[in-house]
Amino acid sequence: MKLDMATVEECYQECIAEGAKAPVFIYTNPHNPSGTIFCAKQTEALVSWCLAKQVHLISDEIYAMSIFTTAKVEFTSVFDIAHGAKRQGAEDLIHIMWGGSKDLGLNGFRIGVLLTRNQELKKCLRGLAYGFSTPAEMQEMTAAVIEDEHFFTRFLEANAQRLTDTYSKVVAKLRDHGVKDIAVADGAMFVYFKMPGEELSLEEERFLWQRLVRENRVMVLPGLVFEDARRGWFRICVSANPLEDTLEAVDRIFKHPHH
């Protein structure tokens, strides 16, 4: 998977032709659901395009520290390209999001971070944050973890290795079941694959998804929930359960014929 700026421009022009506005581009890197990392060159091209078009760029980098040890592409934050390089206009248009629920496994803490230099946006968020702020105790605990460089470095290294090992074993298990099309991931915590067999329609994909939940007792997400125009693709989250349970779940996916 790659970021095709020609396609981005085409979609933008379609919006303009329809009389609609396209004020924001939301960018997830590493990508969800594929786990692909967009390279620095692709990210820089997107930043330049947004600045030229005066389109706000929201970079969702919630998987930024969950990079596989086998990653072939180095992750580069939008911050380094836009704010680090002091690109003109970045202060108002470039915003970066991160949270502790993925990289740190702190789903219940509900800690999110928005890095922006847009003063109007910050003023708006200050008003909203009063009723939705994370408890101070949770903020302090999270800060203590991040500021402990020795622990945090070892934690990220161990997490990266475990994610890499789990991903490779789930991919191998899918191969055993005859799966040929699997997105090559560089990070995050997913395996995105195409179900083998006959081509599916949109309704057949929806039906199969529901059947896997009801009959096979496996929760996977179909490509349709990610607006994937291709049919028959499904995402497995490989970090939510012990490896043995995840591999068993993969076996359950193929327990009954799908067509």
Q: Which domains does the chain have, with CATH numbers?
A: 5-141 (3.40.640.10), 151-253 (3.90.1150.10)
The Cα–Cα gap between 15 and 17 comes to: 5
**Average pLDDT rounded to a whole number, residues 95-110:** 92
**Given a cut of 60, is residue 258 above it in pLDDT?**
no
pLDDT for 132 equals 81
**Average pLDDT rounded to a whole number, residues 117-141:** 89
Query: pLDDT digits over 132-173, tens only?
Result: 888 889 999 999 999 999 999 999 999 999 999 999 999 999
What mean pLDDT value characterizes the chain?
93
CB half-sphere exposure, 194, CA atoms < 13 A: 15
* pTM listed for this prediction: 0.90
**Average pLDDT rounded to a whole number, residues 208-230:** 95
pLDDT for 236 equals 96
CA angle 238, 250, 236 (to 5 degrees): 35
**Average pLDDT rounded to a whole number, residues 60-88:** 93
